[in-house]
Structure 1
Amino acid sequence: MHVQMADEAYRIGPAPSAESYLCMDKIIEVCKRSGAQAVHPGYGFLSENANFAERLAEEGIVFIGPPASAIVSMGSKSESKNIMLAAGVPCVPGYHGTNQDPEFLLQEAKRIGFPVLIKAVHGGGGKGMRTVDTAASFHDALASAKRESLKSFGDDTVLVERYITRPRHVEVQVFGDSRGEVVSLWERDCSVQRRNQKIIEEAPAPGLSPELRAELSGKAIAAAKAVNYVGAGTVEFIFDNDTQEFYFMEMNTRLQVEHPVTEMITGLDLVEWQLEVAAGNPLPLSQAAIPLHGHAFEARIYAENPRNNFLPDSGRLLYLSTPPPTHIFAPEVPASALESARPEDAALFPTTSPSCLSIPPSMRLEQGFGSGAQIGVFYDPMIAKLVVHGRDRTEALRVLRKALEEYKVVGVHTNVEFLRTLASCGAFVDGEVETGFIPKYFQELFPVVGEPEPEVLAQAALFAVLRDGPKHVKGAGASPWVSLASRRFGGDRPERVITLQSEGEGAEPVTVTVVPKLDGLFDVTVRTPSSQTAFSSVSAQLTGTTELHSTIESHSTSTTIVSQPPPPNVPASTSPNTMERLHVFHGGRKSTLVLPSPTWLLSLGGDVLSAAKGALKAPMPSLVVEVRVEVGQRVEKGQAVVVLESMKTETVLRAVVGGVVRAVGCKKGEMVEEGRELVDVEEEES
């Protein structure tokens, strides 16, 4: 999408980032070919690489970011903590030295006390980070963190620090200019995470007193000034919910993915500020003039399966329908607010505008992929950012829930349903956030998925009947075989029996009988294993290829139903992966129903996906990082056998049974598709 939007595009290499986005020479060459005067490095890749900033300076190209010295100082988690301690910024106790001997690090972990956090020194985005609860699991976690850090950042140096049990992730957006001025644009809360990566962010952070907000901003400004910071940066703090104390965690020397929430509460364009500062201009506003209006949320839409441990997904977006965005929130600070603001009160009492009360709630959508796009395996699985603003947190949450109800995706698993459940969770609504929020409220966030309502099943069956029925072609040359509705000689009404089944193990098939009547009406009977529901004289018609308009028991509704055909060239089987799916979007919820293959077709193809109990399959398209077993080797239940990587995330596959390895279907460095059998373990008799 970014290539389609660009006026000019230059290919810098193939998809693997090590051969493209991390190649400084290729980017500098494109700068020269295009005549570019500056480089905006974005969020990742080389955005926090001091060597890249220095190379650009040598070539006379402006780096839209901080000076290389600040990147070096803040890019090292160990060095940055030493600088922060000298500047009076509190830090988490831990070992931040250069000794990387595994036994030495284990002893340091024991000294600090478990649980501890292993963290890549030059990391970010949760990469190279592992939580360790016991000494027995320390070495495996250390090796995994180092391996992931080396691949992501080219450096496997780690630090070890105390793991705070009930932390919040609170970060402060700062901006500095070349004149030595630094301001705070207030804080964001990014506590709700999975795999140490953010899912939803908000600004300002809920529950902070004005005094605490002032202290956080003051420490963040001190941190930036300590390294002569220039440009946009984020000072991240761990906030201990138990003690109400905060500690410096790290500084991201770049623009953050979640910067739109700050833009929404301030009405400022942070990228414009970056360009102003990079051009040598002063900061556009002083601290006293920076507004704080209302509340904003950003929900990250990921291609992943939350009910399968948030494993990333890939594939083609078969269908995408998004809520219509409204205008971007951009208030202006009234002159009266600037006149009354005192410099000494700037951090404690941010300027606000009475006109904020009349600003309507707004929604902003930052989309990375459109319908029909292919979600690959080489990059982060985020496909969009949904950003909302309201006059207060309650209103912003309401706008977010409504927008998520209107967001519809078919083709890959997404976290849209999870985000909607999260935005409705009582603890989240009350602002009781922490980084362990998901495991703490797991039962509420992942309720048992019940059978779809009879109305939903009836609509799915009506869609199948109308879709498969004759198309009413009009015109003088139209054949009656395609222009007339189905009928039988003798006058009896034909009925159609549709079998449907929910996704998931243990789901029982249901049957829906559809009997057409006159004038586009139908009698529909839904039979489940436990009940039977009859709907008489249902009005139904297709208003588009994916839209069904129906009136059931005097209730009229338009429902989006998208058919996902089975994969091509795959024999029919009893696996849902080989059947047609109907994705029904009704009442703000998505129900996925499977149309089972008929018995006669199954008898031809057999169940090609059946496997032995000990077979391990690729849960997603992945790169094989490591194969730890070989044919004939005996393994224990739970033993790691294969390490995969997909979308910058490592996944360890472990033996589900104890036994002997009978087959290995992959090798290190190989790309494997979802469902590929990687290792087969023959279970031993107990």
Structure 2
Amino acid sequence: MFHTVLVANRGEIAVRVIRSLHAMGIRAVAVYSDADAEAMHTRMADVAVRLGPAAASESYLRPELIVEAARRTGAQAVHPGYGFLSENAGFARALDEAGITFIGPPLGAIEAMGDKISAKDLAIEAGAPVVPGVHRPGMSDDELIAEAEGVGYPLMVKASAGGGGKGMRVVRDPATLQEAITAARREAKGGFGDDTLMLERFVERPRHIEIQVLADTHGTTLWVGERECSLQRRHQKVIEECPSPALTPETRRAMGEAAVAIAERVGYVGAGTVEFITDAAAEEFFFLEMNTRLQVEHPVTEEVYGLDLVAEQVHIAAGEPLSFGQDDLVPHGHAVEARVYAEDPSSGFLPTGGRVVRFDTPAGVRVDSGVGRGAVVTSDYDPMVAKVIAVGEDRAEALARLDRGLADTTLFGFPSNITFLRALLADADVRSGDMHTGLIADRGDALTDATVPDEVYAAVGLATIAIRESGLSGVVDPFDLPGGWRLGEAGWTRWRLRAPGTEAVEVKVRISRDGPEVVVGDGEVWPAAVSLVGDRLRVDLPSGRWTWTVDLAEDRAWIGADGRAWLISEEDLLAANRGAGPGGASGTLVAPMPGSVAAVSASVGQAVTAGQTLVVVEAMKMEHPLTAPFDGVVAEVHVQAGSQVGMEDPLVRVEPAEDGTAEDAAS
């Protein structure tokens, strides 16, 4: 067994692997970029080695730096986690040449399964069913078009290399085939450096099922149940579970045996996943691809089968035989996992991120995460914050526990998808198990809710009273809070409060003879009762009793309940109209997410028209153009190309032209 293993990754998977290594008595080496100098995985490891700047291309994606770190620290093996270099054949080759064990499959398996065309050929040789299509290497546009009628419509144009939905287009009309081929080639070339394409019959309303396999160096290959991964958004998995609610015992066994045949055909060693799609009724199944690494969703298999898949990987890489057989793998109960991301569902799932102000994780569920209070979720890496995994005796209990776990999660610092996840879990088809990969897209905006209840604004106003009366220190200075006292009837204390992307709302609070009262906007006077229970704020209003988690500082407050969270800021009454344009629109463009400024086309004094792009912010390899809200003149430019910005940072301010026309302002 190894005495030292280097973990060539970051975030929650690095933390997850380090925990297993420590449980096995193995010394763990972490690597980190400048952005992760104080990250959880860096602090947990026995030793940590700096790789380079924050950009993954200059740190985590540099094989030579990781090989050198392994040499310097005496690491005998490297665990790649998932993503980054986990399926990089060149990295596996470099480790082998350095005499360091790669805790992953043989080089030949990585190369064979990294190309969808060769993977499909191997699946056919193994006798596994494949989606009808054409997958010859090097096919030209004309050849693809000529073969399309034989494949049948609708069909999928798919890049041979890579994954994650890049280089994929669904074509329903032959007239759009050339356009889809051109777009898929361009995307595949840019994403993977390889524009080879293939055609497949598009299965309507498919379910996505994957089989976990384990193979040792002694000739034993086993399948460890299946995972249902049909709840996806843009080909990215959102919620996964084990076992699938759709498979019959006969289909499950046939799929497992097909996965083993494919793994044996490619000479697989280690932990891997063979992915299939089925039709809506899950009566037929077809090979999709093989992932030659650990999957993000592996915890649901661990919980149902009582295994530590990371430990099994290490034992296999050390040359040990599997300690169990196929008949020993008996499932118990049901497990469901939800991925918590730093993203804003109400804004098209734009990535967010920033500093974690508060992260309270729930009891009764498993939480795999690589961040805590004070950590920074940056735009340099994947925006996943945590995975919440719930287990029950049956599926209904697991779903209920997962929903409760998400409700009891408090995440302050940036918008997240927790509310979206709870809405998805409440969907009738999800509860019944009638799922397919297009379900989320079919629901559209029904699963996102950007409204801020009036109770939120009321609670923020009332929180200042509770904190002042409690005598708490270090949160706000109570002498900075106007009390509203005057002779006679109590006066109102007023605030203008605003959540990002919404109009400011006036909130009034006073202490009357009968207790606190609050008014939100033009609404009625609400009598209220307020108390602090630990660090939780309990507010009784006519609409019901609410228990909030509140974090107050200066002119902003984070407030949350039931998994939802809002950033509420105080807007100065006099400054509220500064830079306002027609209809009261704000003239200040702010960053919709943390990231870097890709381009600035605005300059002070420049005349602009509504809709004109003034600045472009880039995050998670996505560009987001920000445009002038109305005709006017650029009054302030706060950034330049290359600037790093946080969410809601001001970028450019536009003022209306004096006569309301940009043309005259220019002259």
Looking at structure 2, the residues matched to 585 and 59 of structure 1 have their Cα atoms a distance apart, in angstroms, of: 51
What residue is the counterpart of 1:204 in the other structure?
243
**Superposition map of 1:516-527 within 5 A:** 516-517=512-513, 522-527=515-520
Looking at structure 1, the residues matched to 494 and 86 of structure 2 have their Cα atoms a distance apart, in angstroms, of: 58
Alignment partner of 1:60: what SS?
A: coil
Alignment partner of 1:441: what SS?
A: helix
Q: Cα deviation per residue 1:445-487 (whole Å; 9 max; x = unaligned)?
A: 235747434xx543322113444679589xxxxxxx9799958
What residue is the counterpart of 2:550 in the other structure?
561
Query: Which residue of 413, 431, 434 maps to 1:432?
Result: 434
Q: Cα deviation per residue 1:512-548 (whole Å; 9 max; x = unaligned)?
A: 332255xxx723143554x524316x2x34456x532
Alignment partner of 2:66: what SS?
A: helix
What is the identity, as a one-letter code, of the residue corresponding to 1:606?
Answer: G
What residue is the counterpart of 1:509 in the other structure?
505
- Check whether the contact 2:356–2:414 (CA below 8 A) recurs between aligned residues: yes
2:559 is the alignment partner of 1:584: yes
What residue is the counterpart of 2:417 in the other structure?
415
**Superposition map of 1:17-416 within 5 A:** 17-99=56-138, 101-102=140-141, 104-105=143-144, 108-109=147-148, 112-133=151-172, 145-146=184-185, 149=188, 153-241=192-280, 244-324=283-363, 362-416=364-418
Looking at structure 2, the residues matched to 392 and 89 of structure 1 have their Cα atoms a distance apart, in angstroms, of: 31
Looking at structure 2, the residues matched to 52 and 117 of structure 1 have their Cα atoms a distance apart, in angstroms, of: 31
Alignment partner of 2:50: what SS?
A: coil
TM-superposed CA distance for 1:206, in Å, is 0.8
TM-superposed CA distance for 1:31, in Å, is 1.2
Q: Which runs of 5+ in 1 are unaligned?
A: 325-361, 474-480, 566-579, 629-636
**Compared CA separation, residues 319 and 644, structure 1 to 2 (3 A):** same
Q: Cα deviation per residue 1:584-637 (whole Å; 9 max; x = unaligned)?
A: 323x2536374552332336x534999999999864345688999xxxxxxxx9
Looking at structure 1, the residues matched to 49 and 565 of structure 2 have their Cα atoms a distance apart, in angstroms, of: 42
Looking at structure 1, the residues matched to 196 and 77 of structure 2 have their Cα atoms a distance apart, in angstroms, of: 31
Looking at structure 2, the residues matched to 601 and 82 of structure 1 have their Cα atoms a distance apart, in angstroms, of: 66
**Compared CA separation, residues 220 and 45, structure 1 to 2 (3 A):** same
**Superposition map of 1:474-485 within 5 A:** none
What is the identity, as a one-letter code, of the residue corresponding to 1:289?
Answer: D
Looking at structure 2, the residues matched to 197 and 62 of structure 1 have their Cα atoms a distance apart, in angstroms, of: 31
What residue is the counterpart of 2:607 in the other structure?
none
- Check whether the contact 1:500–1:593 (CA below 8 A) recurs between aligned residues: no
What residue is the counterpart of 1:597 in the other structure?
571
What is the identity, as a one-letter code, of the residue corresponding to 1:219?
Answer: A
- Check whether the contact 2:581–2:587 (CA below 8 A) recurs between aligned residues: no
Q: Cα deviation per residue 1:55-111 (whole Å; 9 max; x = unaligned)?
A: 222221111111111111111100010111121111112332332645554555566
What residue is the counterpart of 2:45 in the other structure?
6
What residue is the counterpart of 2:494 in the other structure?
497
**Compared CA separation, residues 311 and 683, structure 1 to 2 (3 A):** farther
TM-superposed CA distance for 1:126, in Å, is 3.4
Q: Cα deviation per residue 1:14-62 (whole Å; 9 max; x = unaligned)?
A: 2222222222211111111111111111101221122222222222111
Looking at structure 2, the residues matched to 459 and 655 of structure 1 have their Cα atoms a distance apart, in angstroms, of: 34
**Compared CA separation, residues 615 and 263, structure 1 to 2 (3 A):** same
**Compared CA separation, residues 96 and 650, structure 1 to 2 (3 A):** farther
TM-superposed CA distance for 1:416, in Å, is 0.5
What residue is the counterpart of 1:620 in the other structure?
593
TM-superposed CA distance for 1:125, in Å, is 3.4
**Compared CA separation, residues 644 and 141, structure 1 to 2 (3 A):** farther
Backbone CA RMSD of aligned residues: 4.3
- Check whether the contact 2:406–2:563 (CA below 8 A) recurs between aligned residues: no
What residue is the counterpart of 1:460 in the other structure?
460
Alignment partner of 2:64: what SS?
A: helix
Q: Which runs of 5+ in 2 are unaligned?
A: 1-39, 602-609, 655-660
- Check whether the contact 2:87–2:110 (CA below 8 A) recurs between aligned residues: yes
Alignment partner of 1:221: what SS?
A: helix
Q: TM-score, normalised by structure 2?
A: 0.79
Deviates more, 1:133-142 or 1:437-446: 133-142
What is the identity, as a one-letter code, of the residue corresponding to 1:559?
Answer: W
Alignment partner of 1:190: what SS?
A: strand
What is the identity, as a one-letter code, of the residue corresponding to 1:92?
Answer: V
Looking at structure 2, the residues matched to 315 and 50 of structure 1 have their Cα atoms a distance apart, in angstroms, of: 34
- Check whether the contact 1:472–1:482 (CA below 8 A) recurs between aligned residues: no
Alignment partner of 2:48: what SS?
A: coil
**Superposition map of 1:604-683 within 5 A:** 605-607=578-580, 619-622=592-595, 646-647=619-620, 649-651=621-623, 670=642, 673=645, 676=651
What is the identity, as a one-letter code, of the residue corresponding to 1:526?
Answer: V
User: What is the percent sequence identity of the aligned residues?
Assistant: 40
TM-superposed CA distance for 1:415, in Å, is 0.5
What residue is the counterpart of 2:604 in the other structure?
none
- Check whether the contact 1:618–1:677 (CA below 8 A) recurs between aligned residues: no
What residue is the counterpart of 1:534 in the other structure?
526
Looking at structure 2, the residues matched to 202 and 457 of structure 1 have their Cα atoms a distance apart, in angstroms, of: 37
Alignment partner of 2:61: what SS?
A: coil
What residue is the counterpart of 2:35 in the other structure?
none
TM-superposed CA distance for 1:286, in Å, is 0.3
What is the identity, as a one-letter code, of the residue corresponding to 2:49?
Answer: Y
Looking at structure 2, the residues matched to 103 and 678 of structure 1 have their Cα atoms a distance apart, in angstroms, of: 51
Alignment partner of 1:385: what SS?
A: strand
Looking at structure 2, the residues matched to 306 and 433 of structure 1 have their Cα atoms a distance apart, in angstroms, of: 20
- Check whether the contact 1:548–1:558 (CA below 8 A) recurs between aligned residues: yes
Looking at structure 1, the residues matched to 614 and 207 of structure 2 have their Cα atoms a distance apart, in angstroms, of: 35
TM-superposed CA distance for 1:13, in Å, is 1.9
TM-superposed CA distance for 1:559, in Å, is 2.1
Looking at structure 2, the residues matched to 470 and 315 of structure 1 have their Cα atoms a distance apart, in angstroms, of: 30
**Compared CA separation, residues 644 and 462, structure 1 to 2 (3 A):** closer
What residue is the counterpart of 1:345 in the other structure?
none
TM-superposed CA distance for 1:199, in Å, is 0.7
Alignment partner of 2:414: what SS?
A: coil
Looking at structure 2, the residues matched to 149 and 222 of structure 1 have their Cα atoms a distance apart, in angstroms, of: 29
Looking at structure 2, the residues matched to 625 and 26 of structure 1 have their Cα atoms a distance apart, in angstroms, of: 28
Looking at structure 2, the residues matched to 671 and 448 of structure 1 have their Cα atoms a distance apart, in angstroms, of: 29
**Compared CA separation, residues 484 and 417, structure 1 to 2 (3 A):** closer
Looking at structure 1, the residues matched to 54 and 568 of structure 2 have their Cα atoms a distance apart, in angstroms, of: 34
Looking at structure 2, the residues matched to 378 and 554 of structure 1 have their Cα atoms a distance apart, in angstroms, of: 43
**Compared CA separation, residues 655 and 158, structure 1 to 2 (3 A):** farther
